């Protein structure tokens, strides 16, 4: 039985399990202690000192690393503590580039919020020397601006401890300390996988996505361009947050309306591309299982995972599915099938993908992803960038009516929408693979064993009397753990789904940013995934092979999954990469 302890925080009697920190205990008592460097379960180092409290010790102590003790009496908001916190903010501001009006994180900046709460403004900052840094904007996905860095080390922790990449860390000492790559190399020259987890965990504007909204505006203004847009499954589960809607609100219909008002010529759905991916991927899996192909087969939808595999586990490249990711498949079909159907010169078509993922920007530029001298996708913008475009256009998002996607590549099934959550690709593939292998109707399409936010999940699925062992990992640190199981021969997996971001695309590097304080109470991975699973349940069709528009494209154009034309347009290759170049 768990041992409980009792303490008093600001006069409130609190009972918590032994091992609980004072910060957690206060939260349970409804007492908010300010934090800056703290990131639950990831960066709990007590470095910034914003969360100091008076526990009766000789000096103030950081609540995030202070274990609650039986009989402890804690004060969190005395005049001395408030003065201490104000001084910390003044010192932080003294070396911080305070261009708040134009900062991408203005009004969603944890430092700005703390200053507002503790009544510290620009004039209060201590005057002194500032370090000046060159902005690192050579990556296709991520911009680093150390002039705004507060040295909280949250980005360092998530990159190393969660993603197992570790391409940034503190260098130098004292006043000259900075977060850099080894030998002050640029991110573009390191083994960065472009996942953007550093961005969504940064409390300020020191890290942000490469902004490609101008490219999109320019395309929309160009009368010679036929501009097609497609949003990923996870975008609809998070976009509403940028407009004040509760986390986990699905805004599919409003999102489509907003895109049409922005001026896109066609609004297709990446969910359609996800259904197409399942057709090809399930066929590939069945072929590998029945014909003695390389197993386990690993999914290829996540570009952060693909680059991680290419860089850190190149010996596993034969295990990767050759399928392009859903938005790349749809882009290829837009510039071939759609262009032919509509009599449009494919070279005049521009495809814009709205993704929850910063790594998709890198992916779109890969020379392997295109045909006939054209890239499958021309521009990738994140969920955050789309929100900025909607706001810039003066569109009142929350008041928009719902619209439907355009036909030909707008229909999708429940299997497609769950691609945005960890385990979703696996579940979607199993729904189709089961019926392909057995020829029987799958009555219960819910594979609960592969759902949830656990870093690694596995399940034994009986398909036609044969047990098929599958596994799911999210976060590339967990991917490595799973790969080690494969290499050791510990588990004979047939199929593995891996997503680069913890929790899957719903928690991608391009999604709306949630503060560390908010994450202590609500998990974006869970709430956003609920929206996708609810859409799945509400869909009239829940298996990719039942999509009528998917059936049409195979009947009219592709022939069958795995056909010669399918391989030309929907499949790709990979390359081993060095850790110290692109």
Residues 6+ apart with CB under 8 A from 515: 108, 110, 113, 203
The pair of three-digit structure tokens given for residue 515, joined into one six-digit string: 């503060």
Closest alpha carbon to 378 in 219, 565, 267: 219
The pair of three-digit structure tokens given for residue 64, joined into one six-digit string: 């995030």
Say how far apart CA 482 and CA 499 lie, in whole Å. 12
141 in Cβ contact with 198 (< 8 Å): no
Closest alpha carbon to 290 in 142, 437, 149, 121: 437
Measured between alpha carbons, how far is residue 450 from residues 490, 530, 539 in Å? 19, 14, 20
Residues marked active site are found at 281, 284, 301, 321, 360, 363, 368, 505
Element (H, E) at 23: helix 22-28
Closest alpha carbon to 415 in 264, 278, 509, 525: 278
Element (H, E) at 283: helix 270-291
Residues 6+ apart with CB under 8 A from 82: 118
160 in Cβ contact with 480 (< 8 Å): no
551 in Cβ contact with 543 (< 8 Å): no
| Phi/psi of residue 179, nearest 5 degrees | -95, 115
Report helix, strand or coil for 199: helix
Closest alpha carbon to 435 in 412, 449, 415, 457: 415
Measured between alpha carbons, how far is residue 232 from residues 268, 346, 355, 506 in Å? 10, 22, 5, 10
* Ramachandran sector of residue 196 (left: φ over 0; alpha: ψ -120 to 50; beta: rest): left
Element (H, E) at 13: strand 12-17
| Phi/psi of residue 4, nearest 5 degrees | -105, 145
| Phi/psi of residue 250, nearest 5 degrees | -80, 130
**Most distant pair of Cα atoms in the chain: their distance:** 79
Beta bridge partners of residue 378, listed in sequence order? none
Report helix, strand or coil for 328: helix
According to DSSP, residue 376 is labeled: S
- Where in 482-558 does DSSP place strands (E)? 495-499
| Phi/psi of residue 382, nearest 5 degrees | -90, 175
Tokens 């081993």, residue located = 576
Element (H, E) at 470: strand 466-474
């Amino acid at each position: 039985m768990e041992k409980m302890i009792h303490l008093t925080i600001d006069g409130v009697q609190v009972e918590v399990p032994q091992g609980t920190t004072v910060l957690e205990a206060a939260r349970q008592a409804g007492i908010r202690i300010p934090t800056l460097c703290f990131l639950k379960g990831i960066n709990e180092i007590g470095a910034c000192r914003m969360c100091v409290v008076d526990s009766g010790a000789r000096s103030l102590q950081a609540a995030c690393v202070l274990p609650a003790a039986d009989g402890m009496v804690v004060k969190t908001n005395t005049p001395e503590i408030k003065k201490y916190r104000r001084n910390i903010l003044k010192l932080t501001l003294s070396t911080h580039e305070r261009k708040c009006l134009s900062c991408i994180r203005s009004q969603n900046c944890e430092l700005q919020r703390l200053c507002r709460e503790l009544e510290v403004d620009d004039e209060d900052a201590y005057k002194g020397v500032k370090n000046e840094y060159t902005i690192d904007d050579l990556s296709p996905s991520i911009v680093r601006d150390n002039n705004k860095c507060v040295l909280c080390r949250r980005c360092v922790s998530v990159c190393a401890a969660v993603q197992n990449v570790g391409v940034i860390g503190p260098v130098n000492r004292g006043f000259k300390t900075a977060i850099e790559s080894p030998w002050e190399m640029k991110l573009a020259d390191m083994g960065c996988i472009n996942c953007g987890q550093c961005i969504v965990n940064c409390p300020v504007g020191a890290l942000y996505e490469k902004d490609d909204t101008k490219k999109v505006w320019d395309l929309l203004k160009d009368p010679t361009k036929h501009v097609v847009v497609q949003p990923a499954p996870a975008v609809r589960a998070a976009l509403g947050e940028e407009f004040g809607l509760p986390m986990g609100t699905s805004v599919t219909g409003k999102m489509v309306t907003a895109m049409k008002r922005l001026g896109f010529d066609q609004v297709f759905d990446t969910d359609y591309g996800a259904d197409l991916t399942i057709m090809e991927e399930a066929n590939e899996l069945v072929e590998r299982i029945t014909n003695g192909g390389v197993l386990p087969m690993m999914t290829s939808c996540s570009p952060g995972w693909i680059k991680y595999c290419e860089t850190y586990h190149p010996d596993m490249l034969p295990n990767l599915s050759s399928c392009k990711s859903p938005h790349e498949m749809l882009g290829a079909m837009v510039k071939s099938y759609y262009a032919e159907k509509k009599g449009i010169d494919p070279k005049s078509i521009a495809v814009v993908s709205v993704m929850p993922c910063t790594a998709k920007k890198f992916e779109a530029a890969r020379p392997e992803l295109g045909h006939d001298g054209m890239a499958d996708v021309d521009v990738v913008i994140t969920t955050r960038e789309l929100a900025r475009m909607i706001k810039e256009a003066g569109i009142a998002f929350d008041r928009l009516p719902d619209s439907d996607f355009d036909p030909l590549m707008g229909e999708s099934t429940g299997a497609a929408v769950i691609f945005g959550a960890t385990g979703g690709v696996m579940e979607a593939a199993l729904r189709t693979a089961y019926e392909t292998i057995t020829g029987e109707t799958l009555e219960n399409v819910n594979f609960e064993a592969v759902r949830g936010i656990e870093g690694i999940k596995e399940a034994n699925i009986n398909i036609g009397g044969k047990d098929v062992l599958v596994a799911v990992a999210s976060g590339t640190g967990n991917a490595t753990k799973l790969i080690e199981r494969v290499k050791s021969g510990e588990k004979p997996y047939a199929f593995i789904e891996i997503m680069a971001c913890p929790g899957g695309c719903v928690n991608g590097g391009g999604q709306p940013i949630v503060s560390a304080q908010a994450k202590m109470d609500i998990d974006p991975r869970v709430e956003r995934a609920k929206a996708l699973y609810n859409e799945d349940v509400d869909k009239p069709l829940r298996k990719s092979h039942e999509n009528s528009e998917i059936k049409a494209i195979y009947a009219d154009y592709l022939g069958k999954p795995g056909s010669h034309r399918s391989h030309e347009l929907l499949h790709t290759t990979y390359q081993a990469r060095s850790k110290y170049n692109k």
